[in-house]
A and B are shown apart, each in its own frame.
Chain A
Amino acid sequence: MIINHPLLGPRDAAEFIYLGDAALIDRPDWQAEDAAEQFHAYGYLRDNVAGPMQELWYHEQGDRSWLVVTRDTLTHEITNVELARDVARNRGRSV
C-alpha cells in the first residue's frame, strides 16, 4: 500500500507501523466519575469495521509522525491522511 504522508508525500506502507483504531486518541479523563469504565472501554472495546475506518499509522522508518489514515478495510483504498497531532487537536486534546 502507498500512504500519502501529509509532509513527505507517497510512502510505502512497509515504512510504517500499524496500531489500529484512531479512537485510541480519545483517551478518557482520569478524573471522570466513571473513569474506570471509560478506560475499560478505551482499552478493550474495538469496532471491527468493514469499510472506511480511521486508523493510526506510525512512520517509524521515516519522520516518526503518527498519522490518521482513513482506509477502506475491504478495498484498501485510502481516502484521507492527516497528522495525528492535528486530529488530536481538533478532537480537543489541546488542554
Chain B
Amino acid sequence: MSQVNRIKGGLIDRSQTFSFQFNGTQMQGYAGDTLASALLANGQTLVGRSFKYHRPRGIFTAGSEEPNALVQLRSGAHQEPNTRATVAELFDGLTATSQNHRGSLKHDLMAITDLMSPFLSAGFYYKTFMWPKAFWEKLYEPAIRMSAGLGRLSMQEDPDSYDKGYLHCDLLVIGAGPAGIMAALTAGRSGARVILADEDFTPGGRLNGETLEIGDMSGQAWAAQAMAELASMDNVRLMSRTTVYGAYDHGTYGALERCTDHLASANGKPRQILWRIYSKRAVLTAGATERPIAFGNNDRPGIMLAGAVRTYVNRYGVTPGTRVAVFTNNDDGYRTAADLAAKGVTVAAVIDTRNQAPAQDIPGMRHIRGAGVVDTKGRHQLKSITLTDGQMIDCDALAVSGGWNPNVHLTCHQRGRPTWRDDLNAFVPGDTLPTGMAVAGAANGALTLASAMAEGRDAALAQLADLGLKASPIDLPRAEDEARDGAAVWHIPQSKKRAWLDLQNDVTVKDIKQSHQEGFRSVEHMKRYTTLGMATDQGKTANIPALAIMAECTGRTIPETGTTIFRPPYTPVPIGALGGRARGQEFRPTRLTPSHEWASANGATFVEVGNWMRAQWFARPGEKGWRDSVDREVLATRGSVGICDVTTLGKIDVQGRDAAAFLNKIYANGFAKLAVGRVRYGIMLREDGICYDDGTTARMGENHFVMTTTTANAVLVFRRMEFARQCLFPDMDVHLISTTDAWAQFAVAGPNARKLLEKIVDADSQDMSNEGFPFMACGEVTVCGGTPARLFRISFSGELAYEIAVPARYGNSMMGALMEAGREFGATPYGTEALGVMRIEKGHAAGNELDGRITAHNLGMGRMVSKAKDCIGNTLSQRPEMNRDDAVKLVGFRPVDRAIPLIAGAHLINKGDAVNMANDQGWLSSVAYSPSLGHSIALGFIKSGDTRMGEIVRAVSPVHDKEMEVEIVSAHFIDPEGSRLRV
C-alpha cells in the first residue's frame, strides 16, 4: 500500500520514513505522524469494529478524545489494548492490530450482531438475561463477554517499568495551546517557577492544526519560537507528552508523562512517569473539544469531526478522502472547507443547518443552507450522503462540526459544576474552581485566537499578583478573532436510521429517548442505563449532544438537565503507572533482621512477619520436613540451649522524670513501683477495655525504661503512646523514641543459657550468678571485651533464658559469637515456629489470643488491671458484662486420643449438644505438636474454663468436617511452677 492520501505540507519530517504494520500489512509514514494520520495517509479508513454492534469504524478525531480508533499496539508481553491511534506517535517498526472482530477486520463474523440491534437496545442486559437466574454465570455472561468488548490483554506480566515523581512550582500551566503559551511566557519572563504540561508531542495546541497567523508568522512558527524561548529559561519546565489527568486538593495535580511510548524500545528507561505536581497556582488552558451532530448512519468510516479534518490536512499533510463534504451548524466548519480547498482537495459541498449563515460563501464551492444529513451509504468507507431534501451527494469523507465544548473537566474534579452559556451553546467553567485554579482560553469559552491569547496572559498575571510575584504584561501579538457563530442543532430529527451519539459504547439517539421513556431521566441514571459516556473516552464527544436530547425529551433546558460528574482521570492512566515501582517483591519494604546474613548461610527458611523476614526454622541435612527441624530445635533448646533473633519485637525507649507515671497510664498493671534493674510483664488495654498488646518493660534507671511490644503492634503502640503523651497528658515530662532498629536482640534460652552467656558477657561488667542477676533482672553490660550491651533475664520459652541486645551493627557478628560460644553445649539456632511451639507449651498468649475481642478477665489476668489508678481502658474494662463468671477463659487442651492432631479454629461443644452457634462454648486459638510431650496441644478459650479442668468436650471444625474429643487442662503444659526460670 502506498501513501495515497498524502498531500503537501504539514509538520511531518518527510526525510524520515518509518515502516509500520497494521494487521500484518506493511505501511509507511513519516516522523511526526500519529498512527492515525499514517493509516489515513495509506488509505486505511477502516480501523476497527464497534463495541456492541461490530459496526465498521474509522478515525473520528485527531486527539485524545477519540472514541473509535482503538487499536492494540506492539506484540507479546508489550501488547497494549484500547490505545487511541490518534495519540499514538508513529515510530519505525510499530505494529498495530485492530480489535473486536472474529475473522478479518473487513469480514467480521460478529457483524451479525448489527442485524439483531432491535433486541440490543439500552438496558437489554437487564431485561433479557433475567431468567433463569442460573443461566447468568454459566451461559449469558460468558457469551456476552465473547461477543462484546474491545482489546485483549496479553495475560503476561508487564515487562515495562514505571516511575513516580514529585514536582513543585509557582504556576502550573495545563495545555500548551495559544492561551497556555501566553500564560507560560508571562510567568516565565517574570522569573516565577513554571511548569507547562501538554499531552501532545508537539506543543502548540490547535495552532498546529490551523492556518491561523500570529503577528507576521504562521501559528506553528509562533508556537515553536515561543517554546524555544521557554526552553531557554531555567525557571520553566516544559513537559510535552504529559497529560495532567486530575485536579486534587490544595493545588495538587496528577500528571502522566509518556517517556518511551514513542520509541521502539524503552532501553531500560521507565516507560511512563506518574507525577504529583504541587502548584501554588494553576492556569487551565486545556482548549475545547469539537462535538458531532447526530444523524442516520453517522458512524461510517470516513465521517470525521471537521476540526480533526483540518488537523490532518494542515498538520499531517493527509486528506481523509478525495472528495470531502462538510456538514456544520456553525461558522467554524467553513474553515475546514477552505483549508481543504487550499490544499487542492475537492470539497463536494458545504451543508449548513442554518438558513442564513453569517459566514461568507467560499468562492467556487457548493453551499447548501437550511439542510441536514439524514443518512449515509458505504459499508467500509463512506460513499454518499443523503440530505433532508432527499438529494444524494457522492463523497468519500464527511467533516462534521456541531460546535465546540470547552474542556471543563479539571475544573469539576473538586465537585465544581459547569455553567451554561447560551451564546456558545456550551458549558463553561463554573464559579467553584479547585483551589488556586484559573481558566483561560478556549477552556474558558474564549474560542477565538485573539481572545484566548489575551485571557492566557491575563490569567497568569492575576495568578502571579495573587502570589505577590511581580510580573509585567507581555505584548499581545496581532491575531484573529475568527467567526464563531453557531446554532443549537444536536441531531437531525428527520433521520429514520440509527443516529449515533456515543461511538465507543454504541449509544444512539433512540437509546436516549428510550432511557427517557423508561424513567431514567436524570443524567446520572441515563449514563448508567445506556452506558453513554463510559470507557476510554468518557464521552468527550458524546455527552453534551446526549444531554441536549434528554433535555428535548423532558422539555427542560440543557443547564437544568445538567452534566454527569467529571472525575479523574481526564484520559486513561495505566495501572502500571499508578503502581510505579511498588510491585511484586517491591510492593512494600522488606526489613531484614540483623542476623539475616548468618541465618541465610545456615539453612534458614524465612517467613514474612509484617515487613520483616524472620527465620522460620533452620533445616539440617536429612530432615524430611519442617516438623523435623522444629521438633529438633524445641528439644535442643529445652535440653541444652537455643538462640533466636528477637529483634523484630518493638522497642520503645521511654525517658523523663514522669516516665514511670506515664507507663502507669499506658499499662493496665502498675509500673510506678518497679525497681531499677528489674523487668515487669505488662498488659495494655484499649480505652474500651479490650486487651491491646503485651510485653515486658525494663527499668534501666530512675527515669529510663525500655519497653517491648509485639512485632505486629510495634508501630501502633508507639503511635498510641505519642497520642497519650501529647493529647492526654501534655505536661508530663516524658519522651519516646522507637529503638526497634537500633538494637539487635537475641533470646538465649535453655538450661545452659547462663553458661553460654558467661563466655560472652564481660565478667567485670556483670555478676551472672542467679543471685547477682536473678529472674526478671536487667542491666547494662559489656560483651566480647567492651562492646556495650543490654541484658534482660526474661523468658518466653519457659526455660532459664536471657535476651541480650547489642547495637544493631553488631547483630550479625553477635549471632556468630553466640553460636561459637555455644558450640560446646550444642547451641541450636531456632526460628519462629519453635518459638511458637515453646510459648504454646508454656501457655503464653500471643496474637492468636489477643485478637481484639479478649479482655484481661478472659486471659485470667483480670486482677492485673489496677483499680487503684487511672490507666487507659480500666474504667470500661470494669463493665459487668465483660466480667461475667461464665466468660470464656484461656486454658489448655489436649486430645483424648493423643495420636490425633488438633485443629486451630475448631469450636468447642459440650458432649451431647448439637453443633450450632447456640451451643458454642469457645474455640481453639493456637495449636502445636509438642515434641516435649509427644502429642498435639492447644491453647483456647472456653466458658468458665478455669473451673472445668479435666472435663472432656468436643472440638468441632465444620470446615474440615472433623470432630475430636479434647480434655480441658492447664495452659501451662511445661513446668507449671516456673521452677526452671529461677535456677
Write the residues of chain A forming the contact surface with B, with a CB cutoff of 8 angstroms: 1-2, 12-13, 17, 19, 24-25, 27-28, 30-31, 35-36, 39-40, 42-44, 56, 58, 60, 64-66, 75-78, 83-89, 93-95
Q: Pick the contact of B730 from A12, A19, A93 — CB < 8 Å?
A: A93
Q: Pick the contact of B250 from A1, A19, A40, A86 — CB < 8 Å?
A: A1
Q: Is the CB of A66 within 8 A of B878?
A: no
Write the residues of chain B forming the contact surface with A, with a CB cutoff of 8 angstroms: 249-252, 278, 414, 435, 687-688, 715, 719, 722-723, 726-731, 870, 874-876, 878-879
Q: Is the CB of B727 within 8 A of A2?
A: no
Q: Is the CB of A30 within 8 A of B876?
A: no
Q: Is the CB of B878 within 8 A of A88?
A: no
**Contacting residues, chain B, for A25 (C-beta < 8 A):** 727-728
A89: nearest chain-B partner, CB-CB:
B730
Q: Is the CB of A2 within 8 A of B728?
A: no
**Contacting residues, chain A, for B719 (C-beta < 8 A):** 17, 58, 60
A69, chain B: closest CB distance, angstroms: 12
**Contacting residues, chain B, for A24 (C-beta < 8 A):** 727
Q: How many angstroms from the CA of A87 to the CA of B715 in the assembled complex?
A: 24
Q: Is the CB of B249 within 8 A of A19?
A: no
In the complex, the 9 A-B pairs of residues with the closest C-beta atoms, listed nearest first = A2-B250, A88-B730, A30-B870, A1-B249, A85-B730, A66-B726, A85-B726, A39-B875, A94-B731
**Contacting residues, chain A, for B722 (C-beta < 8 A):** 58, 64, 66
Q: Is the CB of B687 within 8 A of A42?
A: yes
Contact status of A43 and B727, CB under 8 A, knowing A2-B250, A76-B249:
no
Q: How many angstroms from the CA of A87 to the CA of B782 in the assembled complex?
A: 45
Q: Is the CB of A76 within 8 A of B250?
A: yes
Q: Pick the contact of B731 from A1, A35, A89 — CB < 8 Å?
A: A89
A53, chain B: closest CB distance, angstroms: 15
Q: How many angstroms from the CA of A60 to the CA of B688 in the assembled complex?
A: 24
A51, chain B: closest CB distance, angstroms: 15
Q: How many angstroms from the CA of A50 to the CA of B943 in the assembled complex?
A: 45
Q: Pick the contact of A88 from B688, B726, B876 — CB < 8 Å?
A: B726
Q: Is the CB of B727 within 8 A of A36?
A: no
Q: Is the CB of B875 within 8 A of A66?
A: no
Q: How many angstroms from the CA of A93 to the CA of B878 in the assembled complex?
A: 24
Q: How many angstroms from the CA of A44 to the CA of B689 in the assembled complex?
A: 13
**Contacting residues, chain B, for A31 (C-beta < 8 A):** 870
B90, chain A: closest CB distance, angstroms: 38
Q: Is the CB of A65 within 8 A of B726?
A: yes
A65, chain B: closest CB distance, angstroms: 7
A68: nearest chain-B partner, CB-CB:
B727
Q: Is the CB of B249 within 8 A of A66?
A: no
**Contacting residues, chain A, for B414 (C-beta < 8 A):** 75-76
**Contacting residues, chain A, for B251 (C-beta < 8 A):** 2
Q: How many angstroms from the CA of A43 to the CA of B877 in the assembled complex?
A: 12
B879, chain A: closest CB distance, angstroms: 7
Q: How many angstroms from the CA of A42 to the CA of B250 in the assembled complex?
A: 32
A78, chain B: closest CB distance, angstroms: 8
Q: Pick the contact of A43 from B250, B688, B730 — CB < 8 Å?
A: B688
**Contacting residues, chain B, for A83 (C-beta < 8 A):** 726
Q: How many angstroms from the CA of A35 to the CA of B688 in the assembled complex?
A: 13
B729: nearest chain-A partner, CB-CB:
A93
Please name 18 pairs of A and B residues whose Cβ atoms are closer than 8 Å in the assembled complex, sorted by A.
A1-B250, A2-B250, A2-B278, A30-B874, A30-B875, A36-B876, A36-B878, A44-B688, A56-B727, A60-B715, A66-B723, A66-B727, A76-B249, A88-B727, A88-B728, A93-B728, A93-B730, A94-B730
Q: How many angstroms from the CA of A35 to the CA of B874 in the assembled complex?
A: 11
B738: nearest chain-A partner, CB-CB:
A64
Q: How many angstroms from the CA of A25 to the CA of B730 in the assembled complex?
A: 10
Q: How many angstroms from the CA of A86 to the CA of B874 in the assembled complex?
A: 26
Please give 8 more A-B residue pairs, beta carbons under 8 A apart, in addition to A27-B687, A44-B688, A83-B726: A2-B250, A12-B252, A25-B727, A27-B728, A30-B874, A36-B878, A42-B687, A85-B730
